[in-house]
A = this chain, B = another copy of it.
Amino acid sequence: MNAQDNLFEKVLKRDSLYRGKYMDLERFHIKLPDGRTGTREIVRVKNAVAVLPVDDNNVTHILRQHRPAIGKTILEIPAGLIDEGENAAQAAVRECEEETGYKPRKLTELLTYAHAEGYSTGFITLFLATQLEHSNRFNPDETEFFEQAELPFDTLYGKVRAGEFIDSKTILTVLLSKELIDKP
Contacts and interface: CB of A to CB of B under 8 A. Distances in A.
A112 interface: yes
Nearest to A69: B42
Contacts of A20: 17, 25, 41
Nearest to A64: B7
State the oligomeric state as a number of copies. 2
Interface residues of A, number: 64
A132 interface: no
Contacts of A145: 7, 9, 32-34
Interface of A: 1-2, 5, 7-9, 11, 17-18, 20-23, 25, 28, 30, 32-34, 36, 38-43, 45, 64-74, 76, 111-123, 143, 145-147, 163, 166-168, 171-172, 175-176
Given A1-B72, A147-B7, A172-B171, A67 B21 contact: no
